Amino acid sequence: MGPSGLNRLSRKPLARCYTAARSRDSRGGTTIVEVLRRAWERLLRKQWLILYPLVLGIIDTIAFFAVYTAAGSPLTWNGFFTANFYRWSYVQSHFVSGLSWSPALAVAVVAGLAVCVLTAMIRAPYFRAIAGMGYPRAPRGRDEAVRLTLLYLFTNLVLWLLPQVLPGNAVVAEVADFILIVIAVLIVFADYLIVFEQLPFISALRRSVQLVRRRWILVALAVLVFQFIYYGLDRLYDSYFRTAKGIFILLPVSQLLVTAFLVLVSDLVYIFMYHELRRGSTWTPK
């Protein structure tokens, strides 16, 4: 898949906390408890890592504000933050249903592309901050940024926008959800591969599938656990946004902070899993 040689970083241990003495069961597999322990140790050592996903959350909010104002929606505190929480429903009702070109749609397209570019520019150094000792502030090169941008454009179109254009049939929705979860599991390591192994976009997708196949049950379990956590968080905030007569500033702020923390924890776990699978270690869940 793509370049066979690893870049300088990927030839080295990903991080000290990832290469310490391993806790293994009788068959030599790294335990799930050990994965979580090392992820937590890394989080304690580098508390400022949360700034990367937090900045991305703020960028997403700013981008949606541009779309919200371009669509002519009323500029009220409650109206904006409620629409921001249900942003994909907002996109579906304002742009996907009865799709026709308009200045507002043009703003939405530009905002979406800008988010993909900025996500690539931030997540590349963020991954290296997780794996290394410092806090990088930019990708290593233009090719890396372009590859990540293509990946995030692809994932946003397939995993987020595509479900908005599917027929509102319950059976179709269930089948689509299952297929999208499978896709999410198979490509879960793709952006890490672009950064750590400098693979092109398509090669990173193929390599991710290859890695997942080695321990697909464990990888699928990790993805599903995080999806359930995100779903529970979404339901919790949904209850507040639906019933609140007025939205206090701490509600959207807390959502940004909690979501950023979950993104950080999930990336810590996934990067550790990627590193172990790349080494060809035998995994046995405990």
- Distances in Å between the Cα of 205 and the Cα atoms of 91, 100, 193 are 27, 32, 9
Q: Which of 206, 180, 184, 181 is nearest to 193 (CA)?
A: 206
What does the pLDDT look like over 18-73, one tens digit per residue?
333 333 443 334 556 776 777 777 777 787 899 999 999 999 999 999 999 999 99
Is residue 195 situated within a structural domain? Answer: yes
What is the pLDDT, as a whole number, of residue 20?
34
**Residue 133: partners with Cβ closer than 8 Å, 6 or more residues away:** 15, 16
Mean pLDDT of 180-186: 94
Q: Per the structure, how many domains does the chain have?
A: 1
Weakest-pLDDT range from 74-78, 131-135, 182-186: 131-135
Tell me the residue range of the domain where 93 lies: 16-278
Does residue 151 sit within a domain? yes
Q: Is 11 among the domain residues? A: no
Q: Is residue 4 situated within a structural domain?
A: no
Contacts for 205 with CB less than 8 Å, ≥ 6 apart? 151, 187, 190
User: What global pTM score does this model have?
Assistant: 0.81
User: Of 59, 188, 187, which is closest to residue 122 (Cα–Cα)?
Assistant: 59
- Whether residue 285 lies inside any domain: the answer is no
Examine residue 178 and state whether it is found in any structural domain, yes or no: yes
Q: Tell me, yes or no, whether 153 lies in a domain.
A: yes
Looking at residue 50, the DSSP 8-state letter turns out to be: G
What confidence tier does 112 reach under pLDDT thresholds 50, 70, 90? very high
Please tell me the distance from the alpha carbon of residue 165 to that of residue 158, in angstroms, as a whole number: 11
